[in-house]
Amino acid sequence: MFTRKDLMKLLAPLIVEQILAVLVGMVDVMMVAAVGEAAVSGVSLVDSISVLIIQILAALATGGAVVSAQYLGKKQSENACRAAGQLVGVTTILSLIVTMAALIGNRHLLGIVFGKVETAVMNDAVIYFGITALSYPFIAVYNSCAALFRSMGNSRISMVISIVMNTINVVGNAVCIFGLHMGVAGVAYPTLAGRMVAAVLMVYLIQKPDNIIRINRLSELRPNFHMIRNILSIGIPNGLESGMFQFGKIALQSLVSSLGTAAIASYAVASNLVTLLYLPGNAIGLGLITIVGQCVGAGETGQAKQYTRQLTGINYAILIVLCTVMIVFGGPLVGIYRLSSEASAISRQMITAHSIAMVVWPLAFTIPYTLRASLDAKFTMAVSVFSMWVFRIAFAYLFVRIFHLGVMGVWYGMFIDWIFRAAVFSLRFRGLEKRAVSVS
């Protein structure tokens, strides 16, 4: 169903978009590092909450993308358009509710999640959280429209808008931090501005009449409970999976915050740098939503498995190069962040261990995209939530609290989690033909 040219047209912009998102995140951390380690730590704490919220909203967008892609595979473009309207409506309302809760809670919420941290760290976190919370509705609309364009096989649009959004972010950071000396707020305001512009552009583009999937008028946002049920049947398990995953990461961030500022800063920098290693798999996973969704909708589950194996192999080939580079140049990369000698040493150790462990990551995190696109989201949710809390978090606390391995103990718990996921999802993937389901 997809030629090599089709795959490249879909995947290449996704990889570029993923790279841009991560590089901008790294630039944010580098720029705020000029303000001090307290600022780096405060931004890191808030980002763990923001990622939770954004990924839950993105999970709902994935549900809409799967439904739309399967309708396209069935040659039912009218139903695909109806699903698009429902997706944008649901994510907009939900994101507005979350923003209000974040603005009202702010310092109190941060205190509940992270406990007692240094006063300077908390003050920076409060400022950053208050500003970036305003951007949640805009990033929700952007992600929903981007998912719809991807379900059409058009990932170039989201790449171009991402370039615009991230350019605003980076230029704004430079002006606000180094020119206006706004501190942490100088990182937050450009993020808000970039997401606002991206959302407006996406809303305009999704209405174009030459799109197979489009939203023509506001009446299409009126609730259609059959479509909403189809979207939520994937979006809710996917959202719960992403939400529990991020809740787990917040619990680990809370654990790390108890180890001191050096541990928080080293963990933030190492986590930021190794995100580069996830780029190929994340881009391929987003592509698999479209590819597998359309294949399953057309009844071609054999092709869905073939494409998954092919793209997972490509993921491994890219990882060999990236992990080698990360191990060899980890020291200079960490040096860019201007951490203390203690924090730098910890970061380098974490990066090396993480790069080696990436040998199991594609099986644990790329294959589940295929399962979700074949409406097996409840299974991936159950396995992921179980593995996150039983293996990653429990072992992290064991290694840190009982065996006193420091922040590296968090990494070791994560690796055990990966191994379990890889084994279970690989077995589930073998029976895809028997379990794949298409939307009604």
Q: How far is CA 406 from the centre of its chain?
A: 26
Tokens of 366: 């790329």
Residue whose pair of structure tokens reads 């305009």 in the numeric block: 204
Please say whether the beta carbons of 64 and 86 come within 8 A.
yes
Tokens of 119: 């006063």
From 384, 328, 387, 383, select the one nearest 355 (Cα to Cα): 328
- Return the axis-axis angle of helices 341-357 and 261-297, rounded to nearest 10°: 30
C-alpha 379/C-alpha 19 separation (Å) is 29
Q: Measuring CA to CA, how many Å separate 69 from each of 153, 286, 373? A: 9, 12, 9
Count CB neighbours of 414 within 10 A.
21
C-alpha 270/C-alpha 351 separation (Å) is 6
Tokens of 207: 């209405």
**How many angstroms separate the first and last alpha carbons of the chain?**
21
Residue 95 in 3-state DSSP?
helix
Residue 333 burial class via C-beta count within 10 angstroms: exposed 0-12, middle 13-18, buried 19 and up: buried
pLDDT in tens, the chain (440 residues): 677 888 888 888 888 888 877 777 777 777 777 777 677 777 777 877 787 788 888 888 888 888 888 888 888 877 787 888 888 888 888 899 989 988 888 877 777 767 676 777 777 788 888 898 899 999 999 999 998 888 888 888 988 998 999 899 889 988 988 888 787 888 889 989 999 999 999 999 988 888 888 887 666 677 777 778 878 877 788 878 877 877 787 788 788 888 887 888 888 889 888 988 998 899 899 899 889 988 888 888 889 899 999 999 999 999 999 999 999 998 898 888 877 888 889 999 999 999 999 999 999 999 999 998 888 888 999 999 999 999 999 999 999 999 989 889 999 999 999 999 999 999 999 988 777 666 66
Read off the DSSP letter of residue 139. Answer: H
Q: What are phi and psi for residue 439, nearest 5 degrees? A: -70, 155
From 138, 131, 132, select the one nearest 96 (Cα to Cα): 138
